Structure 1
Amino acid sequence: MGFGKVKAALLSLNLIVGTPASNPLSCTKDIFASLTLDAIHVASLNVTAASGLPISGYLSTDDDTGRRRQMPLTVDICLVTLTYTHPGTGDNVHTYIGLPLDAENWNSRFLMDGGGGWVAGGQEQVLTPVGLGYVSSSTDGGHNASVTTAEWGLKAPGKTNWPALEDFASRALHEAALLGKMAIKLYYKSEPRYSYWNGCSTGGRQGHMMAQNYPELFDGIVGAAPAINWDKFITAEFWGAFMANILVRTDVQPPSCVFSAFRDAAIKACDLLDGVKDNIIALPGQCHFRASSIIGETVDCIEPNGKITITKKMSDLVQAMWDGPRSAEGKFEWYGFHQDTNLSAILSPSCTSVDSCTMVPFSIADDWVKVFLERNANFDTETLTLQDYTRLFHQSVDQYASIIGTENPDLTKLKRVGTKMITWHGMQDQLIMTNGTVDYYNRVMSGDPDVADYYRFFLAPGVQHCHSGAGFDPSATTFDVLRSWVENGTVPETLKATAAAVGSSNTSSTRTGNLCLYPKVFTYTGDDPNEASSFSCV
């Protein structure tokens, strides 16, 4: 979750306590009876005081590795659950608000933690922040995580549930922030000193939505690996499945080991472009490796076991996923994945033997095409032609950009209210194309050359979606860096990150580096790849 080191975070609970109402506080329904908004109708309000509630959150360890492990925590919490509807829409939204039960444990800050995939948020999202001293709120966005996308996304076959999509995209999130801050005032008789958003993926998109529309609600926003450009990149995620159907339906469909063979060959060809052998393509723009280079090679596979020969159609599929979708006229539609990305994550082969596999598309992309574009949960995507795909891509942009695209480059309001935002994106991201975020930041910069005064972007070579991978992962430090920028005025010129150590000079299993403020490039300029001083921003 990027909250920084646990010890420092827990110590901060005692170091930066505000001066709210005297204790003990009464966590009762009566306290929150006025918790509502003009545009909603409250169906139910539940308030629970819980002491020693067991929770678990992914927090950083306090050792030198910088890696995450799951640490059990308990929390004393005042938990508020509000169920409401927007009259006339037929929706049903749940908002969850967690407050440290004892005012002395509140650090005078408000923090919302983002969701993932089709999950806008939920009760789990508030527990760990409260354990760290924050008040937190979250929302299910109008649908339970256990229901299918079609169940909430369609009113009936052929009819999009527009109110439900609006809840998920923005409305319920905005309301959760407003309600969370109202609850603080009702419970503590005080306002938060600082308010934050912290999210990645869908949570990163949510953070950007807040930055574009409601920046006055937050002092700082982390929006990592953001699922912005939703109307484009989700359809682009389906490109691999579509091309697999077009190209290899009559050929041997590749198991995961084949995708790995292409990735390994690309890394072998381009790893040393930056002068360091570390299983990372740090300069993908200079990597001109073509998938066709290994046609005819034999791959030894495990799970399933066997040997398989790489065909031209397999190479065409991989190259198409690297290049990104093109229209029926051959025009660029969206970006592809970098060559050191694990393509099996977006197009997962299900195999009974090495030469008998079925391509399983990423579920969110599959949902998008069936539920929101074809508006038919049972639609057979294997019937799609390139003309069909082009039509669907443009339909997605035309019908959904305004509601969930989250790609408005005008951040004038963010700048005016003084909110700070940090974005980082892993260059091995296997779900969201890294260059889509680069594209967005470039568009923001073209409108405001001084964007770095309030919005800073960092690329993370070798990092997968939100965290992990062989490369320099800043997920454990970013939130602390944001807080320091907001509260102390410490402007982040770099972003500290941790990677696996390489070569023979390592004295530990990891190495650190300082990621560069875009458009500067993280560049190896020294003698020892395990020393942070060997990398510069050029």
Structure 2
Amino acid sequence: MMAGGLARLSPTFSNGPGLQKPLDPLNAVANTIDTILTPNPCVAETFPSLSLLGAEFLSIEASLFTNYSGWIPAGWRFSQPSVNIHDVTFCNITVSYTHPGHGDVVNVETWLPTDEWNGRLQAVGGGGWRAGRFILSYAGMAGAIADGYATVTTDAGLGNAEGPMPWALISPGNSNLYALQDLGSQTLNDEAIIAKHLIKSYYGREQSYSYWNGCSQGGRQGTTLAQRYPAAYDGIIAAAPAVNWAGVFISTMWPKVYMDVTGQYPQSCELDELTALAVPACDGLDGVEDGIIADTSGCKRIFDPFTYVGSRFYCPSAGRSINLTLAAAAVANAMWTGPVTAENETTYLHGLEMGTDLTKGALTSCDENGECTGVPNPAVKLLMGYFIDKEPDLSTTKISFKGLERAFRSFKQQFDSFLASDDPDLTPFRDSGGKMITFHGLVSSQWLICPFAKLANDNITRTDRL
């Protein structure tokens, strides 16, 4: 029987008889007798008496996978090198449960290596709006299995939904708070408890150490675990953690709102040109000229995009040289500065780091004459329709500066307790012996998470010194 999650990885992984060595008849008979006499622990009956406060268990399925082989690139593991998987055998246990009264069905999938278990658990996180049990989670689990770990993932009760549209509202005007609670925190602790119970039942002993490994959504899950469930894991890798969802949402919307309000729509090549100009101007601020802006704060102080208005450069998309426009300088400056209030233009959120690709946020469509219009930003409809207005079909996509600020405060007031993980006090996690590594690339494709992750790290460092 092939589990659903593994089936989705079939293009990447292979398993087949060609990977097995042929057996001579005597060995075949001996192996058959040994199989008959040796109980198979990879059955549901091996995992009795699952207990979890606030949960009711619905089912447990166990399947043995053999000859599991493949290759996982480093980019799919976030914090670990690429790995070749060859002829791995493991027990796949899927536990389904509900929180009575919540109307949810949560699925936790655990893989337990049958041979050479290293005595440790490595849980893997999700990405985007997925809590887990999707292609990147399974890649992380495959890598963990190859390294000898027991490993686990959860769908947080959200199934295969790639975004919040199917579950964010229980009806127009009413948020699905139980689903937000499941995604935000509760199922993360559930997952750790269930995985540890399965490990003890299967191996007859507890894991020596347990770790969490995640990026983006998985990074947010990691920081949430450190803040809310400090004893769940001994170590946490929280890469590119989306700790401030309100900030990420509003900053995603900010470039389009700014362009619409001011009526300025630059060509994407102009924004690329300003980024290219900023790199040599700021490269040496950290004392090393390596083509990277390391001192992004210092760069914002010295680099003025308006001084380049009118300068000539070659625009690949236009196929000719053009003059850099005031609109391009204004939009770039707004993105680096961050959202501002309508009254006095005071910045209330951090802008992008210098060197980041600006074109991902300021999407425009331009004709052959270089006249541009704004491209609809799906984040605007998502945030306003499903979280602020809570009426997707009627929600507006035309937002003023004041409207954006109100949306920011509304999202924080309503949903920070579910989704934010920016509490700087990690004292309980530290006191429990926990260790955490978190990092983010300055010009990562997850371009809006970096400034908020950096701010959270600064706050944690400051709090730890008190």
What band does the TM-score fall into relative to the shorter chain?
Answer: 0.7 to 0.9
- Structure 1 residue aligned with 2:60: 45
Question: 1:210, CA displacement in angstroms?
Answer: 0.5
Q: Tell me the secondary structure at the aligned position of residue 109 of structure 2.
A: strand
- Structure 1 residue aligned with 2:122: 111
| Gap change, CA 1:156 and 1:226, over 3 Å in 2 | same
Q: Tell me the secondary structure at the aligned position of residue 167 of structure 2.
A: helix
| Gap change, CA 1:67 and 1:404, over 3 Å in 2 | closer
Give 2:309's match in structure 1, choosing from 280, 292, 295: 295
Give yes or no for the alignment of 1:165 onto 2:176: no
Give yes or no for the alignment of 1:317 onto 2:331: yes
Tell me the distance in 2 between the aligned counterparts of 1:345 and 1:412. 37
Larger strand share, 1 or 2: 1
- Structure 2 residue aligned with 1:465: none
Give yes or no for the alignment of 1:96 onto 2:114: no
- Cα-to-partner distance string for 1:441-489 (whole Å, 9 max, x where unaligned): 3322333217xxxxxxxxxxxxxxxxxxxxxxxxxxxxxxxxxxxxxxx
Q: Tell me the secondary structure at the aligned position of residue 237 of structure 1.
A: helix
- Structure 2 residue aligned with 1:81: 94
Q: Tell me the secondary structure at the aligned position of residue 356 of structure 2.
A: coil
Counterparts of 1:331-410 in structure 2, within 5 Å, are 331-349=346-364, 355=370, 359-360=374-375, 367-378=382-393, 381-410=396-425
The answer as to whether partners of 1:52 and 1:74 remain within 8 angstroms in 2 is yes
- Structure 1 residue aligned with 2:459: 443
Give yes or no for the alignment of 1:141 onto 2:156: yes
| Gap change, CA 1:156 and 1:356, over 3 Å in 2 | farther
- Structure 1 residue aligned with 2:450: 434
Q: Tell me the secondary structure at the aligned position of residue 46 of structure 2.
A: helix
| Gap change, CA 1:271 and 1:147, over 3 Å in 2 | closer
- Cα-to-partner distance string for 1:371-418 (whole Å, 9 max, x where unaligned): 212223345554211111111111111111211111111212112111
Question: 1:261, CA displacement in angstroms?
Answer: 0.8
The answer as to whether partners of 1:235 and 1:396 remain within 8 angstroms in 2 is no
Give yes or no for the alignment of 1:121 onto 2:132: yes
| Gap change, CA 1:259 and 1:183, over 3 Å in 2 | same
Tell me the distance in 1 between the aligned counterparts of 2:390 and 2:435. 39
Q: Number of residues paired by the alignment? A: 419
The answer as to whether partners of 2:341 and 2:348 remain within 8 angstroms in 1 is yes
Give yes or no for the alignment of 1:264 onto 2:280: no
- Cα-to-partner distance string for 1:256-287 (whole Å, 9 max, x where unaligned): 32221110011121112234332211112222
Give yes or no for the alignment of 1:326 onto 2:340: yes
Deviates more, 1:186-195 or 1:364-373: 364-373
Read off the aligned partner of 2:148 and give its amino acid letter: G
Tell me the distance in 2 between the aligned counterparts of 1:306 and 1:272. 31
Tell me the distance in 2 between the aligned counterparts of 1:304 and 1:79. 54
The answer as to whether partners of 2:266 and 2:331 remain within 8 angstroms in 1 is no
Question: 1:53, CA displacement in angstroms?
Answer: 2.5
Read off the aligned partner of 1:105 and give its amino acid letter: E
Q: Tell me the secondary structure at the aligned position of residue 440 of structure 2.
A: strand
| Gap change, CA 1:419 and 1:137, over 3 Å in 2 | same
| Gap change, CA 1:406 and 1:37, over 3 Å in 2 | same
- Cα-to-partner distance string for 1:98-139 (whole Å, 9 max, x where unaligned): 111x2x321000011121111111161433212221111111
Q: Tell me the secondary structure at the aligned position of residue 334 of structure 1.
A: coil
Tell me the distance in 2 between the aligned counterparts of 1:70 and 1:358. 45
Q: RMSD of the alignment, in Å?
A: 2.7
Tell me the distance in 2 between the aligned counterparts of 1:447 and 1:29. 46
Question: 1:335, CA displacement in angstroms?
Answer: 0.5
Tell me the distance in 1 between the aligned counterparts of 2:385 and 2:341. 19
Give yes or no for the alignment of 1:246 onto 2:261: yes
- Cα-to-partner distance string for 1:62-87 (whole Å, 9 max, x where unaligned): xxxx9966756553221111222222
The answer as to whether partners of 1:169 and 1:206 remain within 8 angstroms in 2 is yes
Q: Tell me the secondary structure at the aligned position of residue 421 of structure 1.
A: strand
Tell me the distance in 1 between the aligned counterparts of 2:324 and 2:396. 26
Using structure 1 for the length normalisation, give the TM-score. Answer: 0.72
Read off the aligned partner of 2:304 and give its amino acid letter: R
> Which one has the largest radius of gyration?
2
Tell me the distance in 2 between the aligned counterparts of 1:30 and 1:357. 64
- Show structure 1 runs of 5+ residues with no match: 1-22, 451-538
| Gap change, CA 1:319 and 1:134, over 3 Å in 2 | same
Tell me the distance in 1 between the aligned counterparts of 2:39 and 2:369. 65
The answer as to whether partners of 2:219 and 2:238 remain within 8 angstroms in 1 is yes
Tell me the distance in 2 between the aligned counterparts of 1:334 and 1:202. 20
Tell me the distance in 2 between the aligned counterparts of 1:202 and 1:233. 12
Q: Tell me the secondary structure at the aligned position of residue 258 of structure 1.
A: helix
Question: 1:157, CA displacement in angstroms?
Answer: 2.2
Q: Tell me the secondary structure at the aligned position of residue 84 of structure 1.
A: strand
The answer as to whether partners of 1:326 and 1:332 remain within 8 angstroms in 2 is yes
The answer as to whether partners of 1:75 and 1:127 remain within 8 angstroms in 2 is no
- Structure 1 residue aligned with 2:215: 200
Question: 1:60, CA displacement in angstroms?
Answer: 8.2
- Structure 2 residue aligned with 1:29: 44
- Structure 1 residue aligned with 2:16: none
Read off the aligned partner of 1:426 and give its amino acid letter: G
Tell me the distance in 2 between the aligned counterparts of 1:370 and 1:49. 44
Question: 1:56, CA displacement in angstroms?
Answer: 4.1
Q: Tell me the secondary structure at the aligned position of residue 59 of structure 2.
A: strand
Question: 1:291, CA displacement in angstroms?
Answer: 2.0
- Structure 2 residue aligned with 1:9: none
Tell me the distance in 1 between the aligned counterparts of 2:54 and 2:369. 56
Read off the aligned partner of 2:348 and give its amino acid letter: E
Tell me the distance in 1 between the aligned counterparts of 2:157 and 2:366. 36
Question: 1:196, CA displacement in angstroms?
Answer: 0.6
Read off the aligned partner of 2:279 and give its amino acid letter: I
Q: Tell me the secondary structure at the aligned position of residue 49 of structure 1.
A: strand
